[in-house]
Amino acid sequence: MVSTAEALARRRQRTELRRDQVLDAAERCFRAEGFHGASMSRIAAAADMSVGHIYRYFENKEAIIIALCERSFSGFELLIPAAADDDAPPGAAFIEAWIAQFVWWVDPVRAPLTLEIMAEAGRNAKVAEVVGRIDRRFREIMRRSLLPLSGPIPGDEIDDRLEAIVMLSHGMTSRITADPKAEPDRIIAAFRLAVHRLLATG
Amino acid sequence: MVSTAEALARRRQRTELRRDQVLDAAERCFRAEGFHGASMSRIAAAADMSVGHIYRYFENKEAIIIALCERSFSGFELLIPAAADDDAPPGAAFIEAWIAQFVWWVDPVRAPLTLEIMAEAGRNAKVAEVVGRIDRRFREIMRRSLLPLSGPIPGDEIDDRLEAIVMLSHGMTSRITADPKAEPDRIIAAFRLAVHRLLATG
Amino acid sequence: MVSTAEALARRRQRTELRRDQVLDAAERCFRAEGFHGASMSRIAAAADMSVGHIYRYFENKEAIIIALCERSFSGFELLIPAAADDDAPPGAAFIEAWIAQFVWWVDPVRAPLTLEIMAEAGRNAKVAEVVGRIDRRFREIMRRSLLPLSGPIPGDEIDDRLEAIVMLSHGMTSRITADPKAEPDRIIAAFRLAVHRLLATG
Amino acid sequence: MVSTAEALARRRQRTELRRDQVLDAAERCFRAEGFHGASMSRIAAAADMSVGHIYRYFENKEAIIIALCERSFSGFELLIPAAADDDAPPGAAFIEAWIAQFVWWVDPVRAPLTLEIMAEAGRNAKVAEVVGRIDRRFREIMRRSLLPLSGPIPGDEIDDRLEAIVMLSHGMTSRITADPKAEPDRIIAAFRLAVHRLLATG
DNA sequence: TATGAATGAGCCTTCATTCAT
DNA sequence: CATGAATGAAGGCTCATTCAT
């Protein structure tokens, strides 16, 4: 029946809404207290939901962490193609646009969570896998869309240059989180300079 | 009395030994479970010591964390001048030696802890202060010893280039930790390339 | 909605029941081991409740102590007006009724707790405040209802005589607690005699 | 040998000194934190002594408590005969001197400890015994030395009157401890008034 | 669907006591 | 005589998770 299909869709959508409601709350809590410091009851309170109800949408606390990691990066994952698929704009301007996307990494609200995720990835295989997936995707996109716009680069240097850009982006997260006085603008400026030098010929 | 002075020295030394014993154990536990995941009783077991006894050497768990942060960086802090004070070797060779020191950052055993420290710095002011101190010292040394060896750099770019180098070193920690398959050698290679390009003229 | 209001009322009532359940258990434990000798886990066991659950009803152990102090005195506080408001019976009979209320103080089950409260008041400001409140109320009632029934008392002696009565009532608690062989009846008899002499003219 | 006997006496005396040193420290600690709140290590620190050394003089913490109870009352026990044995001064003056001794009970520094002892007596048989002993002695002395100075008292009232005096003295301790604003002078004044009325004829 | 009462293991920390030195 | 290092049980409290309603 159509009505059943519709009902199912509506239910599915509502479930998605609830999950987001939990993830929003968890994000706030994890940011302030870390994965291990945040408690389910505090997350529940932040989500305006009962503790028990959360367990209808997530098997346990770890599942929330994993889901949050995925959602956290999906925001970034959407940005990259947005810049990449703007088919072939004039080189320099595109690189500039591409760099601008990285303001995302440097958001002082988001960075601590990203860093927490990286640290957790060191001990939690599932988190490591999520991080690995986005990392591979990030490199692939760079290779496909960023590289063509750079000057000619010696083949044996390509991987190192891309790796350096990845490292820079991770480094931004660290800097923003660990140094409360770091200014996002200055961090981005340093990133821009470094990316330009890494994509330059010679 | 000689004996008293000697006894005191011996005691002091043994205290230092015990503290290190605790810090070694804590380091292993923190690496495996994070600062907040690790428990005092597990740390005690790892240190072959009773829980209560640890508290003779550290006021509380946080004091262990702080002490560990300090000890963790002190290793790095010793390296820098070691390279810097090698009085005036020919430029290129020195830079190479300087870069080689960063194998320290890229040790897959040490990196997870460093990352944990950075994440913790985002919520713990005391940790942030320790991190800030080493950060300032790092920059100051770069400015004093590394910069003179680089080609001429436009004055308004100096800070950005140094900042980029700092970001790269943080990025190495992240990469090594989050990606278990990352090879330290490749990471260092990328770092070397980036540093060279950042110190190059033009 | 009616059901909601009813449910709320029922919940509130059950909460009150639980709190009493905890206080009853705590009272037994405190009596046997003192405020600081009794442990939360033993209180929980005595209350047929898990440790963690107690913390839904009381913020911490001290809150239990305070609540118990309040509840402990509220029993006495109810007695006083009961005697006082019996409007204007013939003097002597009333005084007798009034004295009879003090069997409450002399209950060998209650006295040890009262003494513990007094001792605690010496170090815990919150407890001291609860004790101070009941003390003021006690004096005020004596002044209003007991004094008029006594013979004429020189104005400058009134405070001392009331103070002496207060001291006597405290003393009963001490005697009953510290001397297991003390007979409540004899203690009350002495109290009666002393009160009569303190309220007598001359 | 004489020297041995002397040495033994000297040792005994030094032991006594050490015990007092511990008891002084314990008294301060117990006053501030109660019997259960004070810790051996804090007592040791207050006594300028090592923890382990205390155990040469006292079997365990309870032994310190007991010894302190005994010493605590011995101070009072000495006072009574001091007044009593002043052979037969004129009645009224003696009673006044006798009452004056009770400033001891009302010392705001001593009272909290006395109250703590009374509370502990309710659960610790050994403490109860110490308290009981002093209590019996107190009554006996009153009967022997105070009573003869009073006016003629009906035989069946004697015990009640003495009991009331005992209660008053306990009450003073309670009042002084529990009410930080209570003035010792006023308490003593009330006590004096009550004692006079209890010893008066009729 | 939604609640929050209930659990008990586990957290960090402190304790009385012992014993090698 | 004197120390204080060492223990591990027990302290108060919080937690993730379950389940009756």
What is the CATH classification number for the domain harbouring D70? 1.10.357.10
Secondary-structure percent of chain C, ordered helix, strand, coil, rounded to 5 = 80, 0, 20
Nucleotide nearest to A40 (CA to C1'): F16
Amino acid present at B30: F
Do B172 and B192 fall into the same domain? yes
Q: Is B171 on the interface with A (CB under 8 A)?
A: yes
What is the pLDDT of chain A when averaged over all its residues? Answer: 89
CA–CA dist C29, C32 (Å, integer):
5
CA–CA dist D178, C170 (Å, integer):
10
pLDDT of residue D179: 87
- Give distance CA D25 / C1' E13 (Å): 24
- Please give the average per-residue pLDDT across D88-104, as a whole number: 77
Please, do chains D and B touch (3+ CB pairs < 8 Å)?
Answer: no
Contact (CB, 8 A) for C19 and C67: yes
What is the pLDDT of chain C when averaged over all its residues? Answer: 88
Q: Do C36 and D32 touch (CB under 8 A)?
A: no
Q: Do A168 and B168 touch (CB under 8 A)?
A: yes
Q: Which of A36, A58, A80 is the last residue of a domain?
A: A58
- Please give the average per-residue pLDDT across B151-173, as a whole number: 93
pLDDT of residue D112: 93
CA–CA dist D4, C202 (Å, integer):
67
CA–CA dist A107, A176 (Å, integer):
8
Q: Which residues touch strand E (CB under 7 A)?
A: A 11, 15, 18, 49-53, 56; B 38-42, 51-52, 55, 60-62; C 11, 15, 18, 49-53, 56; D 38-42, 51-52, 55, 60-62
- Give distance CA A24 / C1' E3 (Å): 21
pLDDT of residue A91: 65
User: For the segment C25-80, what is each residue's pLDDT rounded down to a tens digit?
Assistant: 999 999 999 999 999 999 999 999 999 999 999 999 999 999 999 999 888 777 66
pLDDT of residue B155: 86
pLDDT of residue A75: 79
User: For the segment A128-145, what is each residue's pLDDT rounded down to a tens digit?
Assistant: 999 999 999 889 888 887
Higher pLDDT, D90 or A100: A100
Contact (CB, 8 A) for A160 and B188: no
CA–CA dist A70, A131 (Å, integer):
8
Given a cut of 80, whether residue A88 has pLDDT beyond it is no
Q: How far apart are the two ends of chain B, measured CA to CA in Å?
A: 67
Do A83 and A179 fall into the same domain? yes
Do A90 and A106 fall into the same domain? yes
In Å, how far is C54's CA from the nearest CA of chain D?
A: 23
CA–CA dist B62, B67 (Å, integer):
8
Given a cut of 80, whether residue A81 has pLDDT beyond it is no
Residue whose CA lies closest to nucleotide F3 C1':
D50
Measured from the Cβ of residue A8, the count of other Cβ atoms closer than 10 Å reads: 10
Do A42 and A121 fall into the same domain? no
Q: Do A168 and B171 touch (CB under 8 A)?
A: yes
- Please give the average per-residue pLDDT across A11-31, as a whole number: 94
Q: Domain of A37: which CATH number? A: 1.10.10.60
Do C110 and C175 fall into the same domain? yes
Given a cut of 80, whether residue A97 has pLDDT beyond it is yes
Tracing tokens 């009773």 back to the chain, one arrives at B50
Do B111 and B171 fall into the same domain? yes
- Give distance CA C70 / C1' E9 (Å): 33
Given pLDDT bands bounded at 50, 70 and 90, which one contains residue B80? low
In Å, how far is A14's CA from the nearest CA of chain B?
A: 34
pLDDT of residue B2: 46
Tracing tokens 């019997």 back to the chain, one arrives at D35
Given pLDDT bands bounded at 50, 70 and 90, which one contains residue C1? very low
* Selected residue of C179, C187, C188, C192 to mutate for chain D interface (largest D Cβ count, 10 A): C179
- The distance of Cα B22 from the centroid of its chain, to the nearest Å, equals 18
Burial grade of C133 (CB within 10 A; 0-12, 13-18, 19 or more): middle
pLDDT of residue C145: 79
A149-163, D43-57, D80-94, D113-127, range with the lowest pLDDT: D80-94
pLDDT of residue C51: 97
Given pLDDT bands bounded at 50, 70 and 90, which one contains residue D73? confident
pLDDT of residue C57: 97
A40-44, B58-62, D77-81, range with the lowest pLDDT: D77-81
Q: Do C168 and D163 touch (CB under 8 A)?
A: no
Q: Which of B23, B40, B58 is the last residue of a domain?
A: B58
CA–CA dist D184, D158 (Å, integer):
28
Two tokens at C84? 């006082």
Do C69 and C54 fall into the same domain? no
Do D46 and D99 fall into the same domain? no
User: For the segment D29-69, what is each residue's pLDDT rounded down to a tens digit?
Assistant: 999 999 999 999 999 999 999 999 999 999 999 999 999 99
Identify all chain C residues contacting D160, using CB atoms and an 8 Å cutoff.
Answer: 186, 189-190, 193-194
Higher pLDDT, B46 or C6: B46
Statement: the pTM of the whole predicted model exceeds 0.85: yes
Tracing tokens 């000798």 back to the chain, one arrives at C37
Do A115 and A132 fall into the same domain? yes
Do C17 and C46 fall into the same domain? yes
Domain count, chain C: 2
Q: Is C145 on the interface with D (CB under 8 A)?
A: no
* Selected residue of D33, D126, D134, D163 to mutate for chain C interface (largest C Cβ count, 10 A): D163
pLDDT of residue D80: 64
Higher pLDDT, C34 or C102: C34
C139: enclosing H helix or E strand: helix C125-141
Given pLDDT bands bounded at 50, 70 and 90, which one contains residue D94? confident
* Selected residue of D137, D139, D174, D199 to mutate for chain C interface (largest C Cβ count, 10 A): D174
Higher pLDDT, B41 or A80: B41
Q: Do D190 and C160 touch (CB under 8 A)?
A: yes
- Please give the average per-residue pLDDT across D89-95, as a whole number: 69
Do C69 and C157 fall into the same domain? yes
Given pLDDT bands bounded at 50, 70 and 90, which one contains residue D98? confident
- Please give the average per-residue pLDDT across B140-149, as a whole number: 84
Given pLDDT bands bounded at 50, 70 and 90, which one contains residue C148? confident
Given pLDDT bands bounded at 50, 70 and 90, which one contains residue A85? low
pLDDT of residue D48: 95
User: For the segment B28-39, what is each residue's pLDDT rounded down to a tens digit?
Assistant: 999 999 999 999
- Give distance CA A11 / C1' E1 (Å): 11
CA–CA dist D198, D150 (Å, integer):
9
Q: What is the DSSP string of A7-42?
A: HHHHHHHHHHHHHHHHHHHHHHHHHHHHHHHS-HHH
Q: Is C81 on the interface with D (CB under 8 A)?
A: no
pLDDT of residue D29: 95
What is the pLDDT of chain D when averaged over all its residues? Answer: 88
Two tokens at C62? 């001290």
- Residues B159-177, buried b or exposed e (16+ Cβ, 10 A)? ebbbbbbbbbbbbbbbbbb
pLDDT of residue B1: 44
pLDDT > 70 in chain B, percent? 92
A11-25, A86-100, D46-60, range with the lowest pLDDT: A86-100
Residue D151 sits in which domain range?
Answer: 65-198
Q: Is A109 on the interface with B (CB under 8 A)?
A: no
Tracing tokens 């009262």 back to the chain, one arrives at C114
pLDDT of residue D82: 57
Identify all chain B residues contacting A190, using CB atoms and an 8 Å cutoff.
Answer: 159-161, 163-164, 167
Given pLDDT bands bounded at 50, 70 and 90, which one contains residue D166? very high
Instruction: Give the 3-state secondary structure of residue A158.
Output: helix
Helices (H), chain B: 2-37, 40-46, 51-57, 61-84, 91-100, 103-106, 111-121, 125-141, 158-178, 184-199
Q: Which of D36, D58, D80 is the last residue of a domain?
A: D58
User: For the segment A35-60, what is each residue's pLDDT rounded down to a tens digit?
Assistant: 999 999 999 999 999 999 999 999 99
Amino acid present at A88: A
pLDDT of residue C59: 96
Q: Is C34 on the interface with D (CB under 8 A)?
A: yes
pLDDT of residue C2: 46
Identify all chain D residues contacting C112, using CB atoms and an 8 Å cutoff.
Answer: 119, 122-123
CA–CA dist A110, A113 (Å, integer):
6
pLDDT of residue B158: 93
Given a cut of 60, whether residue C92 has pLDDT beyond it is yes
Residue whose CA lies closest to nucleotide F16 C1':
A40
Burial grade of A107 (CB within 10 A; 0-12, 13-18, 19 or more): middle
Q: Do D163 and C187 touch (CB under 8 A)?
A: yes
Backbone angles phi, psi at A6, to 5 degrees: -65, -45
- Give chain E positions with protein CB within 7 A: 1-20
Do D193 and D115 fall into the same domain? yes
Measured from the Cβ of residue B200, the count of other Cβ atoms closer than 10 Å reads: 14
pLDDT of residue A82: 58
Given a cut of 70, whether residue A84 has pLDDT beyond it is no
pLDDT > 90 in chain C, percent? 61
Q: Do C171 and D169 touch (CB under 8 A)?
A: yes
Minimal Cα distance from D187: which residue of C? Answer: C163
